[in-house]
């Protein structure tokens, strides 16, 4: 990745590996350090239902109520590792993450775990966390992750299923591309755009776009829902899912979803 990977980027990489390698789909684990730890948190709020467990280390995403509520809804084992000597990512972020996740899913609290050291800086926290000889309560992070499994099927959106493409005889359906998932701080006071203009059709052309909101904490306004690119207004803090229907010149339709998370910072 040339920029910080989004939740959709990570899921795309997982899907790529599942399609090409012999893997145990019930044992998919996501971990990362610093920025990667932040992306691990971001992924878990959207696609956490596809992972068996996660381990964010010095995760560079600030906790929000909405993000923690989303993660809690995934029934996801989580082990976070931080350090009070870390001058880059506050250890208090870890405390807040786990306090809120356990608050919203108290029955799953035995499968969440927070480790805070006090004698290693940001970079050295990584080395300690990923060292197989580092054990907390008898397990290193690899052994701990292997304690957990997930069903082995992949869900491509937080709570919805994207419809299958519809085709007409002798016609290849278009490829709908709703764009990458987005995370936007509410303090930016910025209106995200939905952009499906990278959608393609191999044997014709795209004749029509239709955007709609699938889910979210409130109903937002799509300025031009029947165009490839539309501005969206009226967000509050939380995660929203939008779906685009892309129709080609022969009437075949394909769909794709995108998530926008508005954080409370």
- Taking only the tens place, the pLDDT of each residue in 1-43 is 667 888 888 988 898 888 888 889 899 999 999 999 999 999 9
Domain final position from 98, 125, 145: 145
Structure confidence at residue 166 (pLDDT):
65
Ranges of beta strands (E only) in the chain are 29-33, 53-57, 78-83, 112-117, 182-185, 193-195, 206-215, 221-222, 229-233, 238-248, 253-263
Higher pLDDT, 188 or 245: 245
Average pLDDT for 246-263: 90
Residues 21 and 85 in one domain: yes
pLDDT at 155: 47
Identify whether 165 is part of a domain.
Answer: no
Q: Are residues 196 and 71 in the same domain?
A: no
pLDDT digits (tens, 9 = 90+) for 71-125: 999 999 999 999 999 999 999 999 999 999 999 999 999 999 999 999 999 999 9
Q: How confident is the model at residue 65 (pLDDT cuts 50, 70, 90)?
A: very high
pLDDT at 162: 59
89 domain-assigned = yes
pTM of the full structure = 0.60
Please check whether residues 113 and 195 belong to one and the same domain.
no
Does residue 118 share a domain with residue 199?
no
Alpha carbons 9 and 38: distance in angstroms, whole number:
13
Count structural domains, the chain: 2
Residue 154 has pLDDT above 60, yes or no: no
Same domain, residue pair 240 and 134:
no
pLDDT value for 138:
93
Q: 29 and 126 share a domain?
A: yes
Rounded mean pLDDT, 230-239: 91
> Do residues 16 and 136 both lie within one domain?
yes
Residues 31 and 133 in one domain: yes
Residues 202 and 141 in one domain: no
pLDDT of residue 122: 94
CA distance 192 to 232: 6
What pLDDT is recorded for position 200?
92
89/191 same-domain check:
no
Average confidence score pLDDT of the chain: 89
The Cα–Cα gap between 244 and 135 comes to 46
Which of 117, 145, 173 represents a domain boundary (last residue)?
145
Residues 12 and 132 in one domain: yes
Please indicate, yes or no, whether residues 217 and 103 belong to a single structural domain of this protein. no
Quick check: 153 pLDDT over 70? Answer: no
Could you tell me if residue 44 is inside a domain? yes
Domain interval for residue 115: 7-145
For residue 164, tell me if it sits in a domain.
Answer: no
Rg (the chain; Cα; Å): 20
* Residue 250's CATH number: 2.60.40.10
């Amino acid at each position: 990745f040339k920029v910080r990977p989004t939740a959709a980027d990570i899921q795309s990489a997982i899907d790529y590996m599942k399609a090409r390698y012999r893997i145990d789909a019930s044992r998919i684990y996501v971990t990362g350090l610093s920025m990667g730890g932040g992306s691990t948190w971001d992924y878990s709020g959207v696609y956490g239902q596809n992972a068996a467990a996660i381990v964010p280390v010095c995760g560079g995403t600030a906790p929000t109520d909405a993000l923690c509520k989303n993660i809690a809804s995934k029934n996801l084992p989580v082990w976070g590792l931080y350090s009070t000597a870390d001058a880059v990512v506050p250890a208090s972020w870890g405390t807040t993450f786990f306090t809120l996740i356990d608050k919203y899913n108290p029955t799953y609290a035995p499968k969440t775990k927070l480790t805070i050291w006090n004698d290693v800086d940001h970079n050295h926290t990584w080395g300690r966390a990923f060292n197989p000889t580092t054990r907390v309560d008898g397990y290193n992070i690899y052994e701990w992750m292997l304690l957990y499994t997930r069903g082995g099927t992949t869900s491509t959106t937080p709570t919805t299923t994207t419809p299958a493409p519809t085709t007409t005889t002798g016609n290849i359906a278009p490829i709908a591309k709703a764009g990458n998932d987005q995370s936007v701080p509410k303090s930016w006071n910025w209106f995200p755009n939905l952009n499906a203009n990278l959608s393609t059709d191999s044997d014709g052309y795209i004749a029509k776009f239709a955007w709609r909101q699938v889910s979210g904490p409130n109903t937002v306004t799509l300025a031009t829902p029947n165009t490839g690119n539309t501005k969206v207004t009226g967000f509050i803090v939380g995660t929203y899912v939008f779906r685009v229907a892309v129709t080609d010149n022969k009437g075949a339709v394909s769909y794709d979803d995108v998530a926008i998370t508005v954080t409370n910072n």
